[in-house]
């Protein structure tokens, strides 16, 4: 099982949106038995809450599932996830420090998988929390192509693993 964990700050906006979109893509691709998807926050202030209502509305309007309960990322998760996907550069730095300290999977920025973006430019997904509904629509518009690119990357990794075994 290849395990992907999406990480943002409070785990109520960006990371659950990315995890739910990616999970739906994994399901549609017939890879649900080979890829596990979850998410967590760098902070625990919203642990136990559902996703932000604006995130839920945007996900549902686009035909994605919206069931989510926020959780705080735990160091013990790091070694059980193959890929830790940060939603912005601050989360990426946080994850790299945690992996350096505790060990764990590979760390990448979500938008680094968006094939339409030039390498290294605009790779963060802005936090929509303090914005209006349009900020959540914009967030989803950034998450979707990156998740499609990530799916291609994960598929390649799975194919390589099969070829090696």
pTM: 0.96
> Taking phi first (over 0 means left), then psi (-120 to 50 degrees means alpha), and beta for anything else, what does residue 58 get?
alpha
State whether residue 37 is helix, strand or coil.
strand
Annotation says 71 is catalytic:
no
Q: Where are the domains of the chain?
A: 2-164
Query: In sequence order, which residues have a C-beta less than 8 Å from that of residue 131 and are 6 or more positions away?
Result: none
Q: Is it the case that residue 66 has pLDDT exceeding 80?
A: yes
Catalytic residue among 82, 127, 148, 155: 127
Closest CA to 18 of 74, 76, 77, 91: 91
Q: What is the band of 40 on the pLDDT scale with cuts at 50, 70, 90?
A: very high
- pLDDT band at 137, cuts 50/70/90? very high
Sign of the alpha-carbon dihedral angle for 125, 84, 108, 20: negative
Tokens of 126: 């802005």
Distance CA(6)–CA(79), nearest Å, equals 14
Q: How large is the average pLDDT for residues 134-152?
A: 98
| Of 76, 77, 8, residue with least CA distance to 41 | 8
165 has a pLDDT exceeding 70: no
In what helix (H) or strand (E) does residue 21 lie, and over which residues does it extend? helix 14-28
Structure tokens at 66: 């919206």
Q: Is 13 a catalytic residue?
A: no
CB atoms within 10 A of CB 130: 7
In whole angstroms, what is the distance from residue 124 CA to residue 92 CA?
10
The top-level CATH class assigned to 2-164 is alpha beta
Catalytic choice (5, 13, 14, 38): 14
Catalytic site includes residue 8: yes
Using the structure block, give the residue that is written with the tokens 């929509």.
Answer: 128
List, for residues 43-54, the tens digit of each pLDDT value: 999 999 999 999
Indicate which residue of 5, 8, 139, 147 is catalytic: 8
């Amino acid at each position: 099982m290849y395990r992907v964990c999406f990480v943002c700050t409070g785990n109520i906006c960006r990371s659950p949106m990315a995890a739910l979109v990616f999970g739906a893509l994994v399901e549609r691709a017939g890879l649900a038995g080979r890829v596990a998807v979850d998410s967590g926050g760098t902070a625990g202030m919203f642990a136990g809450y559902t996703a932000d209502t604006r995130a839920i509305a945007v996900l549902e309007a686009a035909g994605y599932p919206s069931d989510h309960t926020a959780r705080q990322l735990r160091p013990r998760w790091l070694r059980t996830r193959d890929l830790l996907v940060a939603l912005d550069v601050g989360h990426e730095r946080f994850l790299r420090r945690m992996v350096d300290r505790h060990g764990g999977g590979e760390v990448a920025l979500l938008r680094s998988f968006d094939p339409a973006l030039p390498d290294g430019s605009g790779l963060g997904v802005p936090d929509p929390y303090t914005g209006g509904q349009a900020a959540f629509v914009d967030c989803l518009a950034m998450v979707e192509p990156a998740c499609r690119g990530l799916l291609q990357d994960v598929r390649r990794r799975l194919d390589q693993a099969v070829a090696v075994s």
